[in-house]
Chain A
Amino acid sequence: MSVIQQSFFKLHKPLWVLLAIVIPTTILTVASNSTLKNTDAVDWIDCICEGGIAFMTLLWLIATLLSRPKGNVTLLLFFGLSAMHISMLMDFLDEFYRFDSANTWLSAFEAFPAFIGMILMSFAMYFWYQEQQILNFMLLKKERFYREYGLTDFISGLYRAEYMKQQIDKELLALKHHNIPFCIALIDIKEFSVFNEKYGVTKANSLLADVGQIILLNLRDSDLACRYASDRFIVLMPNTNLSTAKQVINQVADRVSNHRPYAQGHLISGSNDVHWLCEQAHKGEQQASLLARINAQLNTQKSAA
């Protein structure tokens, strides 16, 4: 993870520098145009609350810079949050400083950055919404109804078997109560352990990621693909009969086996044929027995080949 964070740190270098200039400048401006209050004149509860608000806005600002790529949404978020932070910071500082009578403009100006900041943030939120819509569309076949990042598989980027089990439970209910049929497919890379040995773990992991993406690309919008375990993927096809499901998976298998990864600039060929199996769920079946059934069937199919 530290590699990723480092790259985001470099990516937003100008913004970090700007932030490092703006905050001290604000503090200096306030300090040079006012006199320090007596300690007994300070309202400490106010201090903690306003200081806390200033600190939290700074935290959000840092989180934004660490997590987002470059772009207009990031810029708007940065300037919006920075402006809000300046207001909060000044609000916090005036607990300790009394503005000189010649500089009353300072107290009048205090809330202005926050106002501008909120306008900027509103635009940022609007564009962020649009951006999210596009991302949601891209994630369409990777997730259904709800997002749970803890269930993501680190290597393939797809969801794990656990997520699929939850979705299968839902479909089994729909089958039981509304008679809506669904199909499950397993896709298993042939001789993956040989590939693993020959080209190394890193290459093998990226093959898994590739295959995951190819499966996603060749599914219909309503389907869901997850990584099951090891070199095995699982696809849920809701409201689909067996013959349609087989057509879909046949197409997917065809595409996966045509994929040619590169190793040190050279094409690797004939390494990712797949075993696949498509089955319709029986009414009244349990999720655990359904999964056990199709996996056993695939294993038999593999050993017969």
Chain B
Amino acid sequence: MAQFYEVEDAIFDAHTLILPIVEMAAQRGVMPDKILKGSKLFYDDLNKQTKRVSFAQLHCVISNTTKLLNADGISFLLAERLFHSLHGNAFQALMHASNLQQMFRISQLTQYELFPYMYAKSYYGNEQVHFVVNFSVCEPCEVVKGFFYELLAGLIECLLKWHFNKPAKRQESHGFHIKFPIAPPNHIEQFHSHLSCHYSFAHPMFIVSVDRAILLNKRDNALPAMTSYYLKQSRLSDYTIGFKQHLAQLITKMPKATSEQIATVMGISSATLKRKLKQHNTSFKMLKDEWQKQQSLIYITAQGYSNEKVAQALAFTDITNFRRAFKRWTGKTPSQLRAETKPFL
């Protein structure tokens, strides 16, 4: 069984995200104590090489940032910084990958080193691959979610710019489409200026869709041998994931399991599981809903499943139940959604 980390576990380096946020805020006239308020962190601690922070503290700092500097595009600037400051084995392996598909595999394997806050699952449609992205540790509040979506979109943009750096290849970056599960924000100008790939808003989940045609295109100066070298160097044995991701994996493996059964598998009491879920701002029902909702959307829009097939795959007792649940998640019936997405496929 994989190890997992919880929302209060201090396991993230303070200098990857929090220190740059504090510095950027100071450049914009917001003092560190305001940005760190409520996180139980002090500015002097951050400069220590060994300082580790928890996701809860990160959540608090980001929430303060979105309140104080909402329109400044800190998330996108942070992404640029993060991309240029990554040097570890995982990043080297990523940089030497021969194509986008290999890149994705590597990013999954080295999730903990590269970006331990979120995780992606891939789904293959006829024309495109869809990467559905969720939060790994806990369910953040809306503004923090927005910040992370922007941060991840910014990182993808940096990676694409680097990957398609030759003018002849730039056209290929049009095969990317980032779908944000948020309404068009007031600070849309930050998206305009920082993202050159296609993006749109108000989707039911965070998806990055990529044309299958460009997924296997070889990068000219890739050195796949170096990739496997760096992957071996990278600490794969320490492979750890967040609490929420761990539970999502268990639900995927055992779609029919009750929360008591899941608790037994995890070796904890069902009361402890319930308490932990609450601490992570979620519940067993919410996690199961999220899985069924995302899975059914992918089955219907990308993979052309019939209602029967979806209901069966997602452990629904009958089709009527599935149709009702689907309407509750998306506000539409499965057939309405099929009719809407047909023109795009």
The residues of A with any CB-CB pair to B shorter than 8 Å are: 1-2, 154-155, 160-162, 188, 193, 196-197, 201-202, 205, 228-232, 288, 291-292, 295-296, 299, 302-304
Contacts and interface: CB of A to CB of B under 8 A. Distances in A.
Contact of B194 (A2, A162, A230): A230
- A161, A188, A228: residue with the most chain B Cβ atoms closer than 10 Å: A161
A95 to B, nearest CB: 41
Contact of B189 (A196, A228, A304): A228
B102 to A, nearest CB: 24
A161 B28 contact: no
A233 B196 CA distance: 17
Given A160-B71, A162-B71, A201 B27 contact: yes
Interface in B56-102: 71, 73, 76-77, 80, 84
Top 8 nearest A-B pairs (CB, nearest first) are: A295-B192, A229-B193, A161-B189, A229-B189, A230-B193, A154-B28, A232-B193, A229-B190
- A201, A202, A231: residue with the most chain B Cβ atoms closer than 10 Å: A201
Nearest to B170: A303
A154 B24 CA distance: 11
Contacts of A288: 184, 188
Nearest to B77: A230
Contact of B73 (A162, A229, A302): A229
A197 B73 CA distance: 18
A168 B249 CA distance: 49
B327 interface: no
Interface string B286-320: 00000000000000000000000000000000000
Nearest to B20: A201
20 contacts: A1-B29, A1-B31, A154-B27, A154-B29, A161-B187, A201-B24, A202-B27, A229-B73, A229-B189, A229-B190, A229-B192, A229-B193, A229-B194, A230-B193, A291-B188, A291-B189, A291-B192, A292-B188, A295-B193, A303-B196
B186 interface: yes
B66 to A, nearest CB: 16
Given A1-B29, A230-B73, A197 B84 contact: yes
Contacts of B173: 303
Q: Is the interface of A mostly helix, strand, loop or mixed?
A: helix
B12 to A, nearest CB: 22
Contacts of B190: 229-230
B45 to A, nearest CB: 21
Contacts of A302: 196
A1 B27 CA distance: 11
Interface residues of B, number: 25
Contact of A231 (B23, B187, B193): B193
Given A196-B80, A201-B24, 12 more contacts: A1-B31, A161-B71, A202-B27, A228-B192, A229-B189, A229-B193, A230-B76, A231-B193, A232-B189, A232-B193, A291-B192, A303-B196
Nearest to A295: B192
B239 to A, nearest CB: 32
A162 B189 CA distance: 9
A162 B28 contact: no
A104 B333 CA distance: 91
B193 to A, nearest CB: 4
Nearest to B198: A296
A228 B80 CA distance: 18
A155 B71 CA distance: 13
B211 to A, nearest CB: 17
Interface in B160-205: 167, 170, 173, 184, 186-190, 192-194, 196
Contacts of A1: 29, 31
Contact of B193 (A155, A197, A228, A304): A228
A277 to B, nearest CB: 12
B315 to A, nearest CB: 42
Contacts of A197: 84
A292 B192 contact: yes
B193 A193 contact: no
- B28, B29, B167, B196: residue with the most chain A Cβ atoms closer than 10 Å: B196
Nearest to B173: A303
- B187, B188, B194: residue with the most chain A Cβ atoms closer than 10 Å: B188
A202 B71 CA distance: 20
A161 B71 CA distance: 9
B191 to A, nearest CB: 8
B192 A193 contact: no
A291 B193 CA distance: 11
Contacts of B73: 229-230
A295 B199 CA distance: 13
Nearest to A196: B80
A230 B72 CA distance: 8
Nearest to A300: B196
Contacts of A292: 188, 192
A292 B188 CA distance: 9
A228 B194 CA distance: 11
Nearest to A303: B170
Given A161-B71, A162-B71, A230-B76, A299 B196 contact: yes
Contact of B186 (A162, A196, A291): A162
Interface in B261-294: none
Nearest to B84: A197
A213 B69 CA distance: 23
